[in-house]
Amino acid sequence: SKRDDIRNVAIIAHVDHGKTTLVDGMLKQSGIFRQNQKVEERVLDSNALERERGITILAKNTAITYNGIKINIVDTPGHADFGGEVERVLKMVDGVLLLVDAFEGPMPQTRFVLKKALALDLPAIVVINKIDRPDARVKQVEDEVLELFIELGADDSQIDFPVVYASAKDGIAKYSMDEPSDNLKPLFDTIVNHIPAPAGDPEAPVQVLITTLDYDDYVGRIAIGRVFRGTIVSGKEYAICKKDGSISMTKVSNLYEFMGLKREEAREATIGDIVAVTGIQDIDIGETIADAENPEPVPYVNIDEPTLSMIFSVNNSPFAGQEGQYVTSRHLRERLFKEAKSNVSLRVEETDSPDSFKVSGRGELHLSVLIETMRREGYEFQVSRPMVIIKEVNGKKMEPMESVVIDIPEEYMGVVMEKMGARRGQLTNMENMGNGALRLEFEIPTRGLLGYRSEFMTDTKGEGILNAVFSGYTPYKGEIPTRSRGALVAFESGESNTYGLYNAQDRGTLFIGPGVRVYEGMIVGENSRPGDLDINVCKKKHVTNLRSSTADEALRLTPPREMTLEKCLEFIKDDELVEVTPKNIRMRKTILS
Ligand code: GTP
């Protein structure tokens, strides 16, 4: 049977594209807030750190009613590093709202989460938000979204997505840009009409897949999930299907459903309901609350593996305890292991020393948020530098990679290209966003990106925006040289047979031909592999002769200047100032993805 009175939808949005503002608006308009009750602050981001950073870290649940239909809105984490969280959240819903900023267009996080949603066969509604922005590019952004769906292999029905144009800030939504609107009704209607009602058998043996954990000092652990099958009743005994295959029996104390931002007690919950369950202390994410007589788990949701580790140690310095609270290894241990229970892609391990713990997570931001949260709680401890987790697949070493999108004023192109290049970043796309704004996209080993964010902020005088998302594994290619020596690097596009020159030390020196999308700006003296064509150092003089002196000019050289490999070599040989020895310049075939 079907639950026509319910819609479960997840919001997918890039950081700052307006998710919180939109949900606030929906809550207000659905009459959740009593007439004269002011909304003091943005309601979704409840954790203080989240509010301060303005990002949503943990998935939250909200529900609103519209024309007698309950719409459960599940917030997905806005930041790229929290990948594992997203997949679990998507298991709770029957469709997604893809919220895209009318100026910025789809971003890597959007792409990453949308890909997962499409793979789960979820229908999508596209909401183009911030249409009130003076620099809004509504039509282009809509095209970019369509391209993205095609690129991600969406099927025909998924590509046929409805589009709603919105200004979350003004609380309006519409079906077409030229129609007037003073409310979000078109959005509510699109959700109700386009997101399927949950279906299932309410009489079948119950299955509740736990996708989120919460904790309350009074009731202890709270398990949150969706009822896939059957009906769960408070006070009854159920089987907990654990990930290791074992089954334990527990009595469920209370059930709660979401209404507005609150939880309301319920006696029972059935198919499609998203429910919070108390009384089960031994349950984890991905486990199922099942019928006591016919316990069957919902297949386990795979959580992304951690990519970075840090050692957290008790602070043994004589100054310990002066600012924070002195922490013993037992405190630290308890705090970390408690965190690992609800922070899904986090892993905590003992080390040889009782005072140190290895904490592994998804990228620098994931770990830095934990460190900051713990410090705010008063914990004082030391952390090591982050280390990338190298994975072994069929005896081969593989390392994690990130897709990076960088938005900068064009004058910073040179320094960004240089630094990313030296860190083994490969330029995969470059786009002029108008008004002097430039977008660069790179693929880079996670290792290469370590510590770059703060340098980037300094280099771009705080004006740059850098977003990174884990993109998969690549064969491990050895150490990344820490300092570039300043040479010409030639690179080649496998597709279009064009070549370019780049000088890594002399910022802004760039010659690239049409179709050259992949960039290899690393100085390769020590790390050349057999078969690579290496040519030696370029002298600065040579560069001065030939280069474009500013990033501006370099940009203008893209795409007009074209160079074949022959020409490129000729050019180097002919120029007396360059020594050609098989050392410092590497010709490298790059594979375009
Ligand atoms: P995270 O919680 O970090 O994921 O961000 P978010 O997606 O929830 O974005 P949020 O709602 O916090 O909005 C980000 C910024 O965009 C805020 O400054 C909002 O005021 C602004 N904003 C949101 N919606 C609109 C809109 O429709 N138009 C304009 N001009 N600004 C908007």
pLDDT in tens, 4-27: 999 999 998 887 888 888 988 898
- Which residues on neighbouring strands pair with residue 76, listed in sequence order? none
| pLDDT tier for residue 326 given thresholds of 50, 70 and 90 | low
Tokens read off for 535: 């040519």
Give the mean pLDDT of 202-224: 85
What's the 169 CA to ligand 1 centre distance in angstroms? 7
d(C-alpha 551, C-alpha 539), whole Å: 20
What's the 139 CA to ligand 1 centre distance in angstroms? 20
Q: Residues annotated in the binding site for GTP, as ranges?
A: 16-21, 129-132
| pLDDT tier for residue 181 given thresholds of 50, 70 and 90 | very high
Which residue's CA is minimally distant from atom 19 of ligand 1? 18
Q: Say whether pLDDT at 264 is over 70.
A: yes
Largest CA distance in the chain: 86
Which amino acid, one-letter code, is at 217?
Answer: D
d(C-alpha 593, C-alpha 312), whole Å: 38
| pLDDT tier for residue 85 given thresholds of 50, 70 and 90 | low
| pLDDT tier for residue 303 given thresholds of 50, 70 and 90 | low
Which CB contacts under 8 angstroms, 24+ apart, belong to 26-29? 26/64, 26/71, 26/73, 26/184, 26/187, 26/188, 27/62, 27/64, 27/260, 27/261, 28/171, 29/171, 29/183, 29/184, 29/188
Residues in the chain: 593
d(C-alpha 491, C-alpha 230), whole Å: 60
Any atom of ligand 1 within 6 Å of the Cβ of 56: yes
Whether 342 and 325 have beta carbons less than 8 Å apart is answered as no
Give the closest residue to 504 by CA, choosing from 444, 430, 585, 576: 585
CA distances 42 to 56, 169, 261, Å, are: 11, 12, 11
Which residue's CA is minimally distant from atom 23 of ligand 1? 18
Q: Say whether pLDDT at 585 is over 50.
A: no
Whether 282 and 339 have beta carbons less than 8 Å apart is answered as no
Give the pLDDT of residue 387. 86
Give the closest residue to 118 by CA, choosing from 75, 157, 147, 84: 157
Number of Cα atoms under 13 Å in the Cβ half of residue 402: 31
Residues 6+ apart with CB under 8 A from 341: 213, 284
The model's pTM:
0.61
Tell me the helices (H) and strands (E) count for the chain, helix number first: 15, 33
- pLDDT: is 386 or 250 the higher one? 250
d(C-alpha 528, C-alpha 496), whole Å: 24
What's the 197 CA to ligand 1 centre distance in angstroms? 29
Give the pLDDT of residue 318. 47
d(C-alpha 28, C-alpha 35), whole Å: 9
Any atom of ligand 1 within 6 Å of the Cβ of 110: no
d(C-alpha 67, C-alpha 189), whole Å: 9
Which residue's CA is minimally distant from atom 10 of ligand 1? 18
Whether 548 and 512 have beta carbons less than 8 Å apart is answered as no
Please write down the HEC assignment for all residues of 427-470.
EEEEEEEECCEEEEEEEEEHHHHCCHHHHHHHHCCCCCEEEEEE
Which amino acid, one-letter code, is at 332?
Answer: L
For a mutational test of ligand 1's pocket, the pick from 169, 174, 177, 182, i.e. the residue with the most ligand atoms closer than 8 A to its C-beta, is 169
Any atom of ligand 1 within 6 Å of the Cβ of 130: yes
Any atom of ligand 1 within 6 Å of the Cβ of 484: no
ipTM: 0.97
Q: Say whether pLDDT at 339 is over 80.
A: yes
- Which residues on neighbouring strands pair with residue 475, listed in sequence order? 398
What's the 489 CA to ligand 1 centre distance in angstroms? 42
| pLDDT tier for residue 30 given thresholds of 50, 70 and 90 | confident
Q: Say whether pLDDT at 431 is over 60.
A: yes
Which residue's CA is minimally distant from atom 21 of ligand 1? 18
